[in-house]
């Protein structure tokens, strides 16, 4: 009998501030319907000056360590495309902040927004090799585009942490996976840039091409038929992309693609993304958190995951929701993470967006803004200094 391996616990964190899209529309004169209806976004999370992917990742993972302890965690895999260092994994800082054992491997994975799915599959493989261990997967990103660019309205920030092990309490990860890679320049961020570059229409086209490619491969590998899935968690660079992708997949498979069918399949996966914005690697699993927190009982039902990372790499796989999962959810904590954000006006958001860390190697404390459990205290000698509260 094959091992049951998957997501045993899931927790997310988001940033200190929130910018309503009404404030963005008020600045640039955009009709608010373009945001609320056109891309499906109502607000975006904005990190404080003393927040980054490390503080968000640690805040997401801390409740998991508090609930389960760290004795079985032998590996931390940190997925991000907002890396803070060319050499050192952001996960090493998280390992330190959480007080994890020294007998742990820590690594960072990158492939645009797909990285967390690579981390999850890496984790499943490690647990399969050694069922006595658990793997902590952390996906953490800050989505950032140029001010007044088309991508600005899709920004966001969040981290999702998942504990992967045998006999999972939430979701069993299933074989097979459908895979797809194509060399396209739809979205990228050279090392010398803080903000990403994106060709919006090319990115949508590349995403839809990848959706066809992973589904074709998934069916050829003997996966579930489309009709068996209870819901689908798509990567959500903006909320309406999940609807667009599912409509495309239904059409590709020769199914009807009515609005009600699409809403049933993806609607409950989008609640958090609508108010947080794009969280890059965390996005698919933020969608899973939203689905589990909002849906009727899904016990025993397969959920489809379509993970897309620009450039591009994509994967489709199924996860079966485990009976009794509702007793292990963090629904209230997730709602509080969203509700606790403090509104920021457009001028305040712009100041945070334009802020950059000094590069001279001097002593540079950061303003104390976050009320979260971890903060970036400053820079000293080109070293990032973090604090636990």
User: Catalytic residue numbers?
Assistant: 81, 113, 235
- Are the beta carbons of 352 and 49 closer than 8 angstroms? yes
- In order, the DSSP letters of 76-87 are EEEE-SS-S-SS
Residue 121 is encoded by which pair of tokens? 């599959």
Burial 31-56 (b: 16+ CB within 10 A, else e): eeeebeeebbbbbbbbbbbbbbbbbb
Nearest to 91 by CA among 56, 42, 43: 56
**377: exposed, middle or buried (Cβ count in 10 Å: 0-12, 13-18, 19+):** middle
Type and span of the H or E element at 68: helix 53-68
Q: Across the chain, how many H-helices and E-strands are there? A: 12, 17
Rounded to 5 degrees, φ, ψ at 113 are -80, -5
Look-up: residue for tokens 């457009």? 346
Category of 311 on φ-ψ map: left (φ > 0), alpha (ψ -120 to 50) or beta: left
């Amino acid at each position: 009998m094959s091992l049951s391996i998957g997501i045993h616990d899931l927790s997310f964190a988001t940033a200190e501030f929130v910018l309503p899209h009404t404030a963005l529309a008020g600045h640039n004169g955009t009709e608010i319907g373009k945001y609320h209806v056109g891309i499906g976004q109502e607000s975006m999370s904005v990190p404080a000056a003393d927040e980054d992917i490390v503080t968000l990742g640690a805040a997401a993972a801390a409740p998991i360590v508090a609930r389960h302890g760290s004795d079985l965690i032998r590996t931390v895999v940190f997925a991000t495309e907002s890396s803070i260092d060319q050499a050192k994994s952001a996960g090493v800082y998280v390992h330190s902040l959480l007080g994890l054992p020294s007998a742990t491997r820590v690594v960072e994975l990158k492939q645009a927004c797909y990285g967390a799915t690579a981390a999850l599959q890496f984790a499943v493989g490690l647990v399969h090799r050694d069922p006595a261990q658990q793997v902590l997967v952390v996906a953490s990103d800050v989505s950032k585009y140029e001010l007044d660019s088309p991508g600005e309205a899709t920004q966001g920030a969040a981290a999702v942490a998942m504990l992967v092990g045998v006999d999972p309490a939430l979701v069993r990860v299933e074989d097979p996976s459908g895979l797809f890679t194509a060399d396209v320049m739809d979205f990228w961020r050279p090392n010398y840039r803080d903000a990403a570059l994106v060709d919006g229409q090319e990115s949508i086209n590349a995403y839809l091409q990848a959706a066809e490619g992973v589904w074709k491969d998934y069916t050829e590998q003997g996966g579930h038929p489309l009709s068996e899935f209870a819901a689908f968690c798509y990567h959500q660079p903006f909320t309406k992309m999940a609807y667009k992708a599912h409509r495309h997949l239904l059409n590709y498979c020769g199914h009807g693609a009515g609005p009600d069918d699409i809403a049933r399949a993806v609607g409950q996966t989008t609640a958090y993304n609508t108010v947080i914005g794009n969280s890059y690697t965390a996005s698919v699993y933020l969608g899973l958190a939203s689905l589990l927190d909002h849906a009727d009982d899904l016990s025993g039902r397969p959920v489809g995951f379509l993970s897309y990372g620009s450039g591009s790499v994509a994967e489709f796989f199924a996860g079966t929701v485990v009976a009794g999962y509702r007793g292990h959810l963090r629904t209230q904590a997730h709602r509080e993470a969203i509700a606790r954000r403090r509104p920021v006006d457009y001028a305040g958001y712009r100041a945070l967006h334009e802020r950059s860390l000094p590069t001279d190697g001097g002593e540079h404390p950061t303003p104390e803004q976050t009320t979260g459990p971890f903060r970036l205290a400053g820079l000293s000698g080109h070293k990032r200094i973090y604090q636990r509260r």
